[in-house]
Structure 1
């Protein structure tokens, strides 16, 4: 899997929240129907102050806790005009490790996160910041998905916020870490 480190500006996101859990695989049975219901019902189409046609799904998690929040939302210029049933989140500017994936279902997302956290991160000088990770759906996803569904292999991008760990930088400098 190809990954790149990118710098992203702060983003305001408004969307619909699902509280779910990794416990008993709830996330695998709850997220897909939630995702498709929001898309099918066009629940995000009329969010005020929307700045583009893209969508993103945020994962707000806490260390050692299987429960998490999944927010399906859109980028907005400000959070002031948020509809009552929706939630707003500001993502601070940050470095991210990103991976472009063929997104046919939750397994593809899971594989990307597993690769980033278990293969890429230990070999890098970075650690997760603890801020929400997200999947970004732009025209590379929707142009394919809207015409051929998942059979067309739509592309999405996974982003995990990262920061350098000083000791890893030092070890790499002295060639003690590859």
Structure 2
């Protein structure tokens, strides 16, 4: 389970925001019903200038704060027309650690983010940029999920923005030279 290193251009996203928290695992209780309600009620169909049918779930966090915004949205060509009750998010151009997963439920997303942050990043030459991470849902997810739910093993992609950390590069180079 190794992430791919990819570069993504800036994305403009419009979506619905859930204010939640890692405190007392509130996010685990609030995100799944929010996610399914937005899907079932087709709330994102109101968004104009939508680029495609894909959806993103963006995690906007402040470092060392358990509270965060979970934005379920769609990529748009511009943010001129934001429907009432929705917000825009700009995901900057960045390099990403991108991990494709089978999503059988919300715990699979948590495991993927955990793997990237707790196992992969510490062994790599990269650090998180601090920009929002996101989950990308495209036809590999919806074509399966809409017919069979999670039992059909729909595919999603977890993306964490990263940048090289110079000192980690130097230490990695020394470890290769002296091993």
CA distance in 2: counterparts of 1:7 and 1:129, whole angstroms: 13
Q: Is the 8 A contact 2:46 2:83 kept in 1?
A: no
Give 1:175 deviation, angstroms.
Answer: 2.5
Q: Which residue of 2 aligns with 1:141?
A: 141
Q: Is the 8 A contact 1:15 1:71 kept in 2?
A: yes
Q: Which residue of 2 aligns with 1:10?
A: 10
CA distance in 1: counterparts of 2:17 and 2:48, whole angstroms: 17
Which segments of 5 or more consecutive residues in structure 2 lack a partner in the other structure? none
CA distance in 2: counterparts of 1:4 and 1:57, whole angstroms: 19
CA distance in 2: counterparts of 1:14 and 1:105, whole angstroms: 24
What's the secondary structure of 1:142's corresponding residue?
Answer: helix
Q: Which residue of 2 aligns with 1:55?
A: 55
Any residues of structure 2 matched to 1:13-162 within 5 Å, and which? 13-162=13-162
Q: Is the 8 A contact 1:4 1:97 kept in 2?
A: yes
State TM-score, norm by structure 1. Answer: 0.97
Higher helix share: 2
CA distance in 2: counterparts of 1:100 and 1:9, whole angstroms: 19
Q: Is the 8 A contact 1:13 1:90 kept in 2?
A: yes
Give 1:63 deviation, angstroms.
Answer: 1.5
The alignment covers a number of residue pairs equal to 178
Answer yes or no: is 1:170 the counterpart of 2:170.
yes
Q: Is the 8 A contact 1:2 1:100 kept in 2?
A: no
CA distance in 2: counterparts of 1:81 and 1:61, whole angstroms: 25
